Structure 1
Amino acid sequence: MNLIKKLRRQFILLATLAIFIIVAGALGLINMMGFYAMREHCLDTMTYITQNGGTMPSRYHPSDTASWGKDFFPGITWPEDTPEFAYQTRYFSLRLDSSGRITAVNVKNIVAFSEEQAVEFARIALASPSGSGFLQKNKARYGFMKTTLEDGSTLLVILDCTREFSDVHTFLSYSVWFGFFCIILYVLIFAFLSKRAIAPFVKNLENQKRFITNASHELKTPLAIISVNAEAMEMMNGKNQWTEGIIKQVRRMSGLISHLILLSKAGEATRAQLQFLSFPVKDMFARLKEDFDLLAKDQGKKLTLSAEDGLTARSDEKYLSEILHILLDNAVKYCDDGGTILLSAEKGKKKDTLRLSVSNDYKDGKDLDYSRFFERFYRNDESHNSKKTGYGIGLSIARELSFLLSIPLTVEYKDGRIAFVMIVKTK
């Protein structure tokens, strides 16, 4: 059933969205923490080099500098805790006097820069307004730290952080793929188990539809007997307000039963049962006019048609005609006294489309909540004291049938007229 498939898709979609938010949030937080820990590690290393006058001793003492990562992850062995760390660290430093003149350059611990290249790259770091940060040269990443010493001179330390950035980037790539794999696996498992999850709802819906169908058929017999008896009483005793009231309410109940059956069948129908054929729109309009022209005239309203010759629609004519039948019934019912109902067809804005609309004068429709018009059993007059007869399910049936035909059905209000619009394909 279309409703069950739609429910299952929405169920899977919402579950997928939830797991995506959880996985993305968790992996995003982990990667942010990893990047922040890497950044603090580079800054700590540059701080230690600065404290030692621009050079790193052969033995690094990590306790001399604070480390966010070590405070957050106690007990872990970090690279700077090993004897080889000082020899693995690639950096260079420059000292400038108070006038900004370079007085010393140390490039002993790096091979990517000569003294001239180091000075040229250092000028970029010195031009930065911040005291520390990161720069990129080709594919390499370098951290820098500027420190003003007590004698007014400036010490600049530039550290090669390429490996650290590469590790963070690699972890990010693996985490993205891991998260993507987890989401796909979750969706597959959830899609497999979703049938069991919605099984109670499906069973309840099937029982509900079975009850509506059976009850509707069972009610038809006593209603027919009541109607026949009321008509017999009229024949014997003549018409009176009691027999007319009985017959009127019997017809109303029969109409409600027919609508309930149609609504139930609309939810059970599938596109495989439809017959999509091309047919002339004017012929269908002529048949609809025959059904509603007299009804409109009896209520002092006017029904008009507007359709060019040669316009065709490609759809299931039976169901499309049923939608228009419901919309016309609604239009005649709610059209202002002396107003006009217009059934029109014109070429759509997109190629090979047709715009079908049913509109009517409706001066009281300016401030209505049109988002609720297609809800089952919804009526604008909730007091049920309106003189307009109806059950509040006609538009709901029209929407169900439009979903079945894959035709968007919308409602709009402009210049005192309400219009229900459908965009139908012509090929």
Structure 2
Amino acid sequence: MFKRTKMRLVILNSLVFFILQNAFGAMIYFYMHYSLYHQVDETISEKKTHLLGEQERLGKELNPEREENHRMVYLLWDKKNELYKILPQQSLSKADVERFSSLLNKEGIQTITMDGNSYKYLNMSLEQDSVKRIQIIYNLKRENEMLSHLLMVIGFGSLISVFIALLGGIYLANKALIPIRKSWDKQQQFVADASHELRTPLSVMKLNLEHLFRHPDRSIEQESETIHQAIQELNYLSKMSSDLLTLARSDSEGLQVVQEPFQLDEVLQQIVRDFKALALQKQIQVTADIQPIKIIGDKERVKQLFVILLDNALKYTKDQGKVSISGTVKNSRAVVEIMDTGIGISKYDLPYIFDRYYRGDKSRTRHIEGSGLGLSIAQWIVQSHSGKIQVKSKEGEGTQVMVQFPIKKY
């Protein structure tokens, strides 16, 4: 799969590179073409203006020795449109002169190609007895040679650009595939973990149902333990399905987070009251120090967040342990800390606790109920509220979870 994707990306990126490089070369060529020809037009126009202003000194201004390499040629015509003089002499063939004689009525700067040579010319009229018209002719040989050399360089560069584009395409394809590979690996791991988590409750339910099927004569009271186990597994599957649906919708941005002001301290106090009964069963002391806090967000999602965090704190805290929760406002941010004296998290597991289905030491946690999705959901809720969540823990010493929410104006 990735080989085909990589090949397509290489071809696409190489093609884009090649087009961009050659488009840049074409832009350079056409810019040079325009620049050189425009410069020639300006030279001819300046010469015309100069000659019109110096008609009395026309002979000195048209001195052949002042024109280098015969690039500028002057054809002087009398009032009968017959050639009066050509400067410099023998700079044009007789056939070329006849061709230019047929162009005396053209206005503005024109371009013509004769016998493989290109020229720009301009017809101008004078108020003299001997010379009535002058054709200013500029030989474009040097400009065309420069453009030809430039075209050769661009063509050679175009060939090189094929290899450059190929190397660039391979590099970009490899870079683009990195997040795709990571997402694919995470998806594969997610599917594998989900299959593993679902297999156990399904197997238990199957065994329980087969047991009931083999003993149809027994009463409900006699099989109450079997039915109770099946119900527990159904509840587990129901919770996992709900958590999976929540994460799937969060990945596709299908879950909308309500933005409305509410008292965070009231939510926290209610959660603490609800969990105190459970804490009494394990003889865990729960303390709370919560100041008045008002934030903007989704009240139900925030409540779900702290239910997950406090539930984890109680599950992983041994009997006669302590769990404390505090809430305050610091630097325009609501800060909530949950600390416990539980089993803690090893430094090797700490970076992965928000991964879906991740659990640390399976031998230590297999007896603890849970889908392994709670902290992933908690992280999504915090991020959807533009907040931060940090976890500090030492194995055997307990865990500290700090959640921060920005306090927005309302």
TM-score range, shorter chain: 0.3 to 0.5
- Higher radius of gyration, 1 or 2: 2
TM-score, reference length from structure 1: 0.43
TM-score, reference length from structure 2: 0.45
